[in-house]
């Protein structure tokens, strides 16, 4: 959104180095538009942070609505401004909930 080009991708992928992370180049803005629609935003959705649960599905090709999200857009956007501590708490709560669900259905001692 701020002048990014495909040639910048290799350097950008070093920001999140976890082997589970997947990096993609969206030069056409397909996801920006999809997230804008999913979140009902008045501006392109590019500086957003979202949490999805295991039930999230994108079966129709468009992103589903997240369980929780925050942003660093502008004041015209109604939604919580990014607070890393709050975001982290929500992620951990979702993970803890999933761990609890798994342990209740797990047959192993």
| pLDDT tens string 64-100 | 889 999 999 998 899 999 999 999 999 999 999 888 7
Q: Which of 49, 44, 32, 46 is nearest to 84 (CA)?
A: 49
| pLDDT tens string 26-69 | 989 999 999 999 999 999 999 999 999 888 888 887 888 899 99
Distance CA 58, CA 104 (A): 27
With beta carbons less than 8 A apart as the criterion, state whether 23 and 12 touch. yes
Distance CA 26, CA 92 (A): 28
Instruction: Delimit the domains of the chain by residue range.
Output: 6-105
**pTM of the entire structure?**
0.76
Please state whether beta strands 68-71 and 48-51 pair in parallel, antiparallel, or not at all (unpaired).
antiparallel
Residue 22, pLDDT score: 84
């Amino acid at each position: 959104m701020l002048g990014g080009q495909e040639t910048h991708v290799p350097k950008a992928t070093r920001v999140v180095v976890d082997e589970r992370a997947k990096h993609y180049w969206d030069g056409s803005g397909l996801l920006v538009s999809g997230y804008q629609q999913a979140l009902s935003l008045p501006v392109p959705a590019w500086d957003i942070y979202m949490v999805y649960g295991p039930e999230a599905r994108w079966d129709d090709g468009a992103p589903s609505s997240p369980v929780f999200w925050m942003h660093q857009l502008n004041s015209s956007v109604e939604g919580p401004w990014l607070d890393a501590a709050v975001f982290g708490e929500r992620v951990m709560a979702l993970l803890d909930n999933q761990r609890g669900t798994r342990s209740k259905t797990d047959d192993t001692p």
